[in-house]
Amino acid sequence: MSLLLAIAAALAFAIGTFLTKGVTLKISIYRAIGPLFILNALFVFPLIPFGPRWILWSGSIPYLHILGALGSGIVAGIIFSMVSRSTASVVSVGQAITPAVVLLAGPIALGTSIVPVQVLAIVVLVFATLFPLRKSLVGVGSFTTIFLMITIGVLSGLVTVAVVLLNKEGVGTTETFIVRQLLAGFTFMAIFPPIGLHWRDFMQLVRRSFFMSVGWLASIYAIRQGSPVVVQSVMATIPLWVILIEVIAYKERPSRPVVFSAIAIAIGIYVLALTS
């Protein structure tokens, strides 16, 4: 069951990531992000009665919620900006290094252990994966491109760490997800009011939010029910799924650097997961 949930999560994330490109082509990207976060939360609202009681204001919980929302908001802004200048598959590679970042941050935030060989492997993996994509963003320099992708991976990893810490505090999945999405969504809408969005724009946002919400929930339940090694390995194949969807949709041969990076990150995360 865990494997099926992980595969469902990977496919949902891949479709949602692909749909992000369509959103950036037709809608003002920063005005779309706030409503997307709110829609993500609304899709999960029906599950609130099935989860534990919310504990918003206890100890470090509110700060962890804010940290998760801040990281998610910044990542969303970078992702939408990058997708508007490239393909969804390029950006998905940056997100796929998240498990490596979590492994690296584990000893600091989660009390886990890591050996020097793993640190070296993570550095090599990140460099080998991202360097071929250094010229993949139109109008953006190589250093900035690599920096943005590393930032996506680092912040996504920190959001994952915040989720783990919230789980240790007894916070349920629905509270963790909904609070983070609402905080990020209302913050974006305050800074970038969703003025000028039409009904057809709204429907595009709904489709994208649906798949991303399914991906988040399926991945969370997959980790809780099965092996994190299996789940991380399956989730690392998201860039490959995005490439396949783009090939089917655009009927064009994928970029070789993107394919190489997607395969490298999938193999690298699998090896790291086995050694963690």
For 100-130, the pLDDT digits (tens) are: 776 666 666 656 666 777 777 777 778 878 8
CA angle (153, 159, 164) in 5-degree steps: 125
The pLDDT value recorded for residue 183 is: 96
With beta carbons less than 8 A apart as the criterion, state whether 208 and 15 touch.
no
Higher pLDDT, residue 11 or 129: 11
- The pLDDT confidence band at residue 243, using thresholds 50, 70 and 90, is very high
Query: How many CB atoms neighbour CB 86 within 10 A?
Result: 19
Distances in Å between the Cα of 10 and the Cα atoms of 37, 63, 83, 215, 216 are: 19, 29, 19, 7, 9
pLDDT, tens only, 68-96:
999 999 999 998 888 888 888 888 887 77
Lowest-confidence segment of 16-20, 111-115, 206-210 by average pLDDT:
111-115
Mean pLDDT to the nearest integer, 153-175:
85
With beta carbons less than 8 A apart as the criterion, state whether 229 and 2 touch.
no
The pLDDT value recorded for residue 92 is: 86
Q: Is a pLDDT exceeding 70 seen at residue 7?
A: yes
The pLDDT value recorded for residue 179 is: 95
The pLDDT value recorded for residue 108 is: 61
With beta carbons less than 8 A apart as the criterion, state whether 58 and 52 touch.
no
- Of the chain, the percentage scoring pLDDT greater than 90 comes to 25
The pLDDT value recorded for residue 74 is: 95
Mean pLDDT to the nearest integer, 219-232:
71
pTM recorded for the entire structure? 0.84
- The pLDDT confidence band at residue 181, using thresholds 50, 70 and 90, is very high
The pLDDT value recorded for residue 109 is: 60
pLDDT, tens only, 19-61:
888 877 777 778 889 999 999 999 999 989 988 899 888 888 9
Q: Is a pLDDT exceeding 70 seen at residue 211?
A: yes
Q: How far apart are CA 195 and CA 30, in angstroms?
A: 11
